[in-house]
């Protein structure tokens, strides 16, 4: 019997209980032992819910119970999640989590403790919802030097952009829908400002490149400035707009960023719609690979958490997470990163701006007679900023994914 304790009975925590109860037979078979939920920790009461029988309000009950082998942290937020995870590991209990904020902030420390204790700190559900991307990077793509990860890593914003593009929905309305469906963070600012995707690309990059990418070093821009007019231009170009999180090696040096991008139909990420996530990985031997699946929500996320529980039950006294270093990954300055830029500009300044920014053709929309738009030639971000400063009437800019 492997006893587990679940910290937090919110969207993901209740999903973990549901997954284990629904699939207990096959889960136990795969774990090679019976997985039993001994405790659920939450400050609230849940009258009428059978969870009430195993509900505790004090973490020390779990910490001091030698029968608890695995602690499942699904509370979210850095504290007190980090303190609980650290204490559990120090007490010799493996920990698994869906908490990307905690992994991005404290992953090195927690993995180090797990290594020293020969137990595990696993975090499959922290990136890509139910997609097994952490395991793929850590255990499958081990023959390659990975040189690019580009993903749609936030289900909430992907759902919102999809609805805005397809149905012309209002930003605030679709955000409410995403919240109601359990996709969004407790504070949805983390989704719409790109912070959630930023932490996820930091985690994936740290695993893939074997050096620690500090999420604070990643240039991050959210989707709050994306308008239905931007979507209309994208549609006219046969493109769409997605929030991409990317890290890539160019000339021996990595850059990383999170921002909305215009992308064309030839991109493997173009058709990643709704709440789905898609993660493109390029390896020097493998070439291209795509990982696709449900990116957020109760059961997909819980499915990934429980997969970690099974792995930890199979390796109760053997550390299995390897490729994570605390040596920093230094990034190329954003000014030196090259790309093309979609620019909207006032109609009277459009021709001049087009020449300064090296674009070839003006694009107009009937419903926006006072402006025009174009896509620039390839240049560094620094060069773009310099040339844009010399233009009049620029209304907005969105990067273009090549
Ligand atoms: N708020 C997150 C998202 C949840 O929308 O992707 C899954 O990490």
Instruction: Supply φ then ψ for residue 44, to 5 degrees.
Output: -85, 165
Q: What is the pLDDT of residue 13?
A: 98
Annotation marks residue 200 as catalytic = yes
**Selection from 253, 255, 237, 235 nearest residue 245 by Cα:** 255
Select which of 93, 200, 242, 248 is catalytic: 200
Q: What is the pLDDT of residue 168?
A: 86
Q: What is the pLDDT of residue 216?
A: 98
Q: What spacing in Å lies between the alpha carbon of 115 and ligand 1's midpoint?
A: 28
Probe ligand 1: pick from 127, 196, 202, 303, max atoms within 8 Å of CB? 196
Q: What is the pLDDT of residue 263?
A: 97
Q: What spacing in Å lies between the alpha carbon of 235 and ligand 1's midpoint?
A: 26
Q: How do 35-41 and 2-7 pair as beta strands? A: parallel
Four-residue CA torsion sign, 30, 36, 41, 44: positive
Q: What is the pLDDT of residue 156?
A: 98
Half-sphere exposure of 366 (CA within 13 A, CB side): 0
Q: What spacing in Å lies between the alpha carbon of 98 and ligand 1's midpoint?
A: 10
Atom of ligand 1 nearest to the CA of 277: 6
Probe ligand 1: pick from 104, 295, 300, max atoms within 8 Å of CB? 295
Residue list, ligand 1 pocket, CB within 6 Å: 129, 154-156, 183-185, 191, 196, 295-296
Mean pLDDT in runs of 10 for the chain (402 residues)?
98 98 98 98 97 98 98 97 98 98 97 97 98 96 96 98 92 95 94 98 97 97 96 96 98 97 97 98 97 97 98 96 87 97 98 96 96 98 98 98 92
Four-residue CA torsion sign, 90, 95, 101, 103: positive
Q: What is the pLDDT of residue 26?
A: 98
Q: What is the pLDDT of residue 321?
A: 75
Q: How do 276-283 and 287-294 pair as beta strands? A: antiparallel
Probe ligand 1: pick from 12, 151, 185, max atoms within 8 Å of CB? 185
**Is cis: bond before 80, omega within 30 of 0?**
yes
Per the CB < 8 A criterion, the answer to whether 365 and 227 are in contact is: no
Per the CB < 8 A criterion, the answer to whether 201 and 208 are in contact is: no
Half-sphere exposure of 55 (CA within 13 A, CB side): 18
**Selection from 22, 7, 1 nearest residue 299 by Cα:** 22
């Amino acid at each position: 019997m492997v006893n587990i304790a679940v910290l937090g009975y919110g969207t993901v925590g209740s999903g973990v209980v549901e997954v284990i109860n629904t699939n207990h037979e096959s889960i136990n078979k795969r774990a090679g032992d019976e997985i039993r939920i001994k405790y659920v920790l939450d400050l609230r009461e849940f009258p009428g819910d059978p969870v009430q029988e195993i509900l505790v309000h004090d973490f020390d009950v779990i910490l001091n119970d030698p029968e608890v082998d695995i602690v499942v942290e699904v509370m979210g937020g850095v504290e007190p999640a980090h303190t609980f995870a650290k204490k559990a590991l120090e007490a010799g209990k493996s920990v698994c989590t869906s908490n990307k904020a905690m992994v991005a902030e404290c992953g090195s420390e927690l993995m180090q403790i797990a290594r020293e204790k020969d137990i595990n700190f696993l975090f499959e559900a922290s990136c890509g919802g139910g997609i097994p991307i952490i395991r793929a990077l850590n255990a499958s793509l081990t023959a390659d030097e990975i040189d690019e990860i580009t993903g749609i890593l936030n289900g909430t914003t992907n759902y919102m952009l999809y609805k805005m593009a397809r149905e012309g929905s209002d930003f605030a309305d679709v955000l409410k829908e995403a919240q109601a469906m359990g996709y969004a963070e407790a504070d949805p600012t983390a989704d719409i400002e790109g912070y959630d995707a930023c932490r996820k690309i930091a985690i994936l990059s740290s695993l893939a490149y074997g050096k620690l990418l500090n999420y604070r070093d990643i240039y991050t821009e959210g989707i709050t400035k994306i308008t239905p007019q931007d979507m209309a231009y994208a549609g006219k170009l046969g493109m769409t707009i997605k929030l991409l999180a990317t890290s890539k090696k160019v000339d021996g040096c990595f850059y990383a960023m999170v921002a909305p991008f215009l992308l064309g139909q030839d991109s493997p990420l173009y058709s990643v719609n709704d709440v789905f996530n898609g993660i493109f990985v390029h390896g020097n031997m493998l070439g291209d690979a795509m990982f696709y699946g449900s990116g957020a929500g109760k059961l997909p996320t819980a499915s990934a958490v429980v997969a970690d529980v099974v792995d930890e039950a199979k390796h109760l006294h053997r550390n299995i997470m390897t490729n994570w270093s605390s040596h920093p990954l230094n990034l190329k300055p954003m000014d030196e990163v090259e790309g093309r830029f979609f620019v909207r500009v006032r109609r009277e300044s459009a021709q001049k701006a087009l020449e300064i920014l090296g674009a070839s053709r003006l694009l107009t929309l009937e419903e926006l007679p006072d402006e025009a738009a174009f896509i620039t030639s390839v240049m560094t971000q620094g060069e773009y900023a310099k040339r844009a400063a010399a233009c009049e009437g620029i209304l907005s800019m969105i990067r273009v994914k090549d």
